[in-house]
């Protein structure tokens, strides 16, 4: 499960996804067992039922573009050619990250 610091960071990241993508991600993570009525409830369900940061970031719905926007918003310097894998590594191993999955 994600800790509270991770939940806050990923709450910010998930806001870069369109509502339709959030709902689809929530349905995948919760096996369509949780119904939500707002974007905030959808994000809460995603964060509550996600097992780990790397699991969430590796989901197809979390696109390279979304990760790039999130990191750019945090003013993390990135090459424009960075792959999704590079961006996930940057998030998981960033010195600014509160993520316990750091190596």
Which own/partner contact pairs does 69-78 have at CB distance under 8 Å and 24+ positions apart? 69/16, 70/12, 70/13, 70/16, 73/12, 73/16
**Average pLDDT of the segment spanning 73-102:** 81
For the record, the structure tokens of 75 come out as: 């003013």
For CA atoms 74, 83, 46, 96, give the dihedral sign: negative
pTM of the model: 0.87
For the record, the structure tokens of 31 come out as: 């096996």
**pLDDT for 43-77, tens place per residue?**
999 999 999 999 999 999 999 999 999 999 999 99
State residue 94's pLDDT score. 75
**Which residues, in sequence order, are CB contacts of 74 under 8 Å at separation 6+?**
96
The answer to whether residue 102 scores a pLDDT higher than 50 is no
CA distance 58 to 61: 9
CA distance 26 to 74: 25
**pLDDT for 4-28, tens place per residue?**
999 999 999 999 999 999 999 999 9
């Amino acid at each position: 499960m994600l800790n509270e610091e991770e939940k806050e960071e990923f709450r910010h990241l998930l806001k870069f996804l369109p509502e339709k993508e959030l709902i689809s991600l929530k349905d995948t993570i919760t096996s369509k067992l949780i119904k939500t009525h707002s974007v905030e409830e959808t994000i809460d369900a995603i964060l509550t039922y996600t097992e780990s940061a790397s699991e969430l970031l590796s989901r197809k719905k979390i696109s390279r573009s979304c990760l790039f926007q999130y990191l750019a918003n945090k003013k993390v310097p990135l090459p424009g050619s960075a792959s999704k894998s590079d961006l996930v590594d940057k998030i998981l191993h960033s010195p600014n990250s509160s993520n316990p999955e750091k190596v």
